[in-house]
Structure 1
């Protein structure tokens, strides 16, 4: 929102001329409201497309056709039919780290690692696929793909090689500089004035970005934790076997804890935020922390997720609520 406002502010003189030529009778407030709304919609569409492509590219995903993995496609089609939805595409990551994630958009996809396929039983694999389908059915994958876009953008090329504090200052400074110029606090025709504004923006931009980003990241991670619980429950309802999902979570978590770091692939927060378990396809914590980083848990603790699944199993066994026998996904 800040970025769109700053950009439109810079373009204000040209936008006003366009309004005078195209729709002079339209009040300025209405004109700008519609323009901001359309700009935000376009930005969100670009974010979803870009974030989806970034996630699949960074994870080095290979799309699997039905002939490549017929048994896996059969599972996805069978579970999708229970939800009365078209089955998503299926992708594979050649990694020994067991994990999976899903991405939304016009071409939704469930992505699994080779390590996950090798370590799970049939019932556990069904449970994990049902969990990811629940995310897609509830559009969690689309929401979280968008939510993880902006944090990941700061680590993307061409600034990936820069220290984190400088990356933050560059992005925050660019927006702050646009706001300063758009607000008329500096003379855009004066090189010295623009240079001073750019310097102040670079120095203060990272601070401003951190202040704005902290609540956004916190709320995003809170949303992620809540949606993981919801997808766990919905997936368990879909298969009718909450114990299988609990077993899969425990098995995968234990497998990663015991894996040597040399066998694991480094992965950034964009992919980690979308995964079944919160480590992406890596448990490597040896990377240097060269700047300000907001450390928040994006997933509920595995033990807490298992406890809730055990409660679901008890409800199903006791038949406390007839609605529990069918998945209700909104």
Structure 2
């Protein structure tokens, strides 16, 4: 269901792009803008892991420098059936984690020092299993495609604001400018909805990789409570990366509203507890 919803949201982004492209510059202008935006995002896709890890001053670790953390990731990667990702620690008191990389063969996971210090081994395994699920599901690719289309929409919107677009389009000059202002906002909302959808999928996938949904449920509750009152300086300086983390590093949300990059933690925990009950019932029947 989450996969179907993701494709529907991507289709909505594509339709929005095609609509604004037609109204502003016709088919030719839309095609040129898409090519330029695709080139920009292709560069980001191939280099996103290096850019993000450098941005957060992440330090790579191994079995010698961080044995417990490294072995947890190693065991979970084996469970997930994916190559061992490069493993990093970010020096930050805020408990959080993220995954990056263009595919399972070129992936990295990072946990903050605050996360490793605060969580039990079981809770840490729940969190890192969630990040490995993102890698296994190729969510980085999904979000890159989303960014490509949204970036193209923003480029067309900027063109309309500076040059006025196609005055013969339906609604005339005013209509084009109104669409130029509203379209990027709509694209951002769809991006956020896709991000929330992928979080639910990674929660479920992570629970299957770790074997116990309650480990992640417990970790999410503890992370969310602490992250709300602990500032993440790097994330505050780079808010565009907020969607990468397991919980929003910028602020807490009381519900799944339109402007949230993450589902509300309470909703995620409830889903994980339902999953745990279902797994327990399946073992009982078995």
- TM-score (ref. length: structure 2): 0.72
Within the alignment, does 1:73 sit opposite 2:70 as a pair?
Answer: yes
Q: Note if contact 2:157-2:180 (Cα within 8 Å) is conserved in structure 1.
A: yes
Within the alignment, does 1:90 sit opposite 2:75 as a pair?
Answer: no
Q: CA deviation at 1:274?
A: 0.9
Within the alignment, does 1:49 sit opposite 2:46 as a pair?
Answer: yes
> SS at the partner of 2:111?
strand
Alignment match, 1:133: 132
**Structure with the higher fraction of residues in helix conformation:** 2
Q: Note if contact 1:104-1:145 (Cα within 8 Å) is conserved in structure 2.
A: no
In structure 2, do the counterparts of structure 1 residues 234 and 311 end up closer, same or farther at CA, with 3 Å as the change threshold? same
CA distance in 2 between counterparts of 1:148 and 1:59 reads: 21
In structure 2, do the counterparts of structure 1 residues 47 and 321 end up closer, same or farther at CA, with 3 Å as the change threshold? farther
> SS at the partner of 1:112?
strand
> SS at the partner of 2:262?
coil
In structure 2, do the counterparts of structure 1 residues 129 and 300 end up closer, same or farther at CA, with 3 Å as the change threshold? same
Q: CA deviation at 1:115?
A: 0.3
Alignment match, 1:173: 158
CA distance in 1 between counterparts of 2:145 and 2:124 reads: 27
In structure 2, do the counterparts of structure 1 residues 74 and 179 end up closer, same or farther at CA, with 3 Å as the change threshold? farther
1:56-205 mapped onto 2 (5 Å cutoff)? 56-105=53-102, 107-145=106-144, 147=146, 172-174=157-159, 177=162
Q: Note if contact 2:98-2:244 (Cα within 8 Å) is conserved in structure 1.
A: yes
Unaligned runs of 5+ in 2: 1-16
Q: CA deviation at 1:218?
A: 1.6
Q: Note if contact 2:96-2:111 (Cα within 8 Å) is conserved in structure 1.
A: yes
Q: Note if contact 2:59-2:90 (Cα within 8 Å) is conserved in structure 1.
A: yes
From the CA coordinates, give the structure whose radius of gyration is larger: 1
- TM-score (ref. length: structure 1): 0.63
Q: CA deviation at 1:211?
A: 1.5
Alignment match, 1:297: 260
Q: Note if contact 1:100-1:116 (Cα within 8 Å) is conserved in structure 2.
A: yes
Q: Note if contact 1:246-1:306 (Cα within 8 Å) is conserved in structure 2.
A: yes
Within the alignment, does 1:313 sit opposite 2:276 as a pair?
Answer: yes
Q: Note if contact 2:157-2:184 (Cα within 8 Å) is conserved in structure 1.
A: no
1:230-269 mapped onto 2 (5 Å cutoff)? 230-259=201-230, 261=231, 266-269=236-239
Write out per-residue CA displacement over residues 217-250 of structure 1, whole angstroms, 9 at most, x where no aligned residue: 1221111111111111111111111111100000
> SS at the partner of 1:86?
coil
CA distance in 2 between counterparts of 1:179 and 1:321 reads: 66
Q: Note if contact 2:21-2:156 (Cα within 8 Å) is conserved in structure 1.
A: no
Give the counterpart of 1:276 among 221, 239, 246: 246
Write out per-residue CA displacement over residues 247-297 of structure 1, whole angstroms, 9 at most, x where no aligned residue: 0000111112344x5x8552433221111001x2x449xxxxxxxxx9701
In structure 2, do the counterparts of structure 1 residues 36 and 125 end up closer, same or farther at CA, with 3 Å as the change threshold? same
RMSD: 4.1
Alignment match, 1:164: none
CA distance in 2 between counterparts of 1:321 and 1:145 reads: 42
